[in-house]
């Protein structure tokens, strides 16, 4: 592993640990002006400050497991990228953002697997077992390819649609929907994509 790759994964682990804690963050300011932050509010005075991204409930990610799974699933990712004419670095970026290479990742919304397929998306692309890494990556890659075709190879819009659904992008006049999660998601994937392109 190169020093650059090591730094990338160390940075990734610092980003993912708080996101994978699986709880929203709530803020309460008491009468003395003291700020209290918690993921388990015990009265109605708290206001939600941060909604955890994707709301993963089962993903347990560490630097070691992410690095190991990245190597393990790289041939699968490369094959899917070749079939659907996409850069492998892009798929790695999406998978990093979606599941951090955890094939058992499950979101509170019901998305499952490496590329976090929802039930309807899995059905559309013939993925019977969303926890099967090969099937999950094949379905997710085909979906991403179709989104790129739909949005004239506009990567930003395709990524926004992957996160929020194509109808959300269409209803917003072919622009990124004004959802903080989607805006953050697009930025993260693009950052990871640029990082992976330098490595590959």
- What kind and span of H or E run contains 35? strand 35-38
Contacts 24+ apart (CB under 8 A), 46-51: 48/24, 49/24, 49/25, 50/24, 50/25, 51/24, 51/180, 51/181
The token pair at 188 is 């993260």
Question: What strands, in cross-sheet order, belong to the sheet with 25-29?
Answer: 35-38, 25-29, 47-50
3-state DSSP assignment of residue 87: coil
* Known active-site residue 166: no
Which is the catalytic residue, given 98, 166, 181, 183? 98
Residues acting as catalytic residues:
98
């Amino acid at each position: 592993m190169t020093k650059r790759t090591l730094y990338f994964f160390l940075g990734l682990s610092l980003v993912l640990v708080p996101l994978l804690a699986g709880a929203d963050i709530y803020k309460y300011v008491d009468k003395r002006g003291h700020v209290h932050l918690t993921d388990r509010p015990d009265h109605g005075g708290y206001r939600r400050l941060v909604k955890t991204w994707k709301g993963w409930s089962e993903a347990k990610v560490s630097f070691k497991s992410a690095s190991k799974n990245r190597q393990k699933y790289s041939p699968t990712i490369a094959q899917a990228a070749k079939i659907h004419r996409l850069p492998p670095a892009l798929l790695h970026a999406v998978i990093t953002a979606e599941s951090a290479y955890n094939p058992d990742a499950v979101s509170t919304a019901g998305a499952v697997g490496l590329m976090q397929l929802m039930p309807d998306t899995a059905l559309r692309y013939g993925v019977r077992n969303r926890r099967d890494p090969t099937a999950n990556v094949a379905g997710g890659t085909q979906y991403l390819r179709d989104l790129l075709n739909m949005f004239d190879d506009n990567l930003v819009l395709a990524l926004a649609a992957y996160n929020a659904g194509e109808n959300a992008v269409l209803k917003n006049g072919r622009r990124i929907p004004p959802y903080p999660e989607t805006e953050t998601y697009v930025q993260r994937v693009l950052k990871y994509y640029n990082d992976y392109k330098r490595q590959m």
